[in-house]
Chains A and B, each alone.
Chain A
Amino acid sequence: EVQLVESGGVVVQPGGSLRLSCAASGFTFDDYTMHWVRQVPGKGLEWVALTSWDGFTTYYRDSVRGRFTISRDNRKNSLYLEMSSLRIEDTALYHCAKASAHWYDGMDAWGPGTTVTVSP
């Protein structure tokens, strides 16, 4: 069974830094593109970043590029999101998600998420 479990979400002040982790199991981790997607409670879904299977190709939404870094350690079956210069608008529940066999076919497994709160 595919499992994704995020951790690392805390309350942090604006301008602060944080690292989120996602532990993956139940599939061959290094075969798949991985994503981070966030959701403000009661609001919609917002894609944040993706990394290719080998970590060499990454993409970000404009509002986080230069502040967030997605990475992975295939030896540890883990995905990471380094977040810096945090803003109040980064407050959200952050999910890691596994891409389907073809990355353009959606995200076929999601973790329950970890909450990041940016507050003075």
Chain B
Amino acid sequence: DIQLTQSPAFLSASVGDRVTITCRASQGIERYLAWYQQTPGKAPKLLIYAASTLLGGVPSRFSGSGSGTEFTLTISSLQPEDFVLYYCQQLNTYPITFGQGTRLEIK
């Protein structure tokens, strides 16, 4: 199985900060990577697919980059509603796998 390692697991930041979450794959996955946001008690929401394509309706402060084994999710100016959980997901190879998650906390 392809392992996805997200870092950091926890990230403390302030409203208005720029933050970056990294997702590293144990083998190359081209650009078959998606990012999700999950608010506690709710289902995940797709933010970005194909490593860098923003889903319609997702605020432009979110961006993704990378290919192969290293990917990043950047939030350019944190808003209060952004302090939740984020997961990466690879869809290059079965089984589809997720990273362990990054919890974004208010400093």
Give the interface of A toward B (CB within 8 A): 35, 44-47, 50, 59-62, 95, 100, 103-108, 110-113
Contacts and interface: CB of A to CB of B under 8 A. Distances in A.
Given A106-B34, A106-B91, A108-B55, A46 B98 contact: yes
Given A95-B43, A110-B44, A113-B43, A105 B98 contact: no
A105 B50 contact: yes
Contacts, number: 57
A110 B97 contact: no
A30 B1 CA distance: 29
Interface in B31-78: 32, 34, 36, 42-46, 49-50, 53, 55
Contacts of B55: 108
B95 A62 contact: yes
A47 B95 CA distance: 7
Contact of A47 (B36, B97, B99): B97
A84 B95 CA distance: 20
Q: Which 3 A-B pairs have the closest CB atoms?
A: A106-B34, A110-B43, A47-B96
Name which of A46, A61, A107, A110 has the most chain B CB atoms within 10 A of its CB.
Answer: A107
A103 B43 contact: no
Contacts of B94: 59
Given A44-B98, A45-B87, A62-B95, A100 B32 contact: no
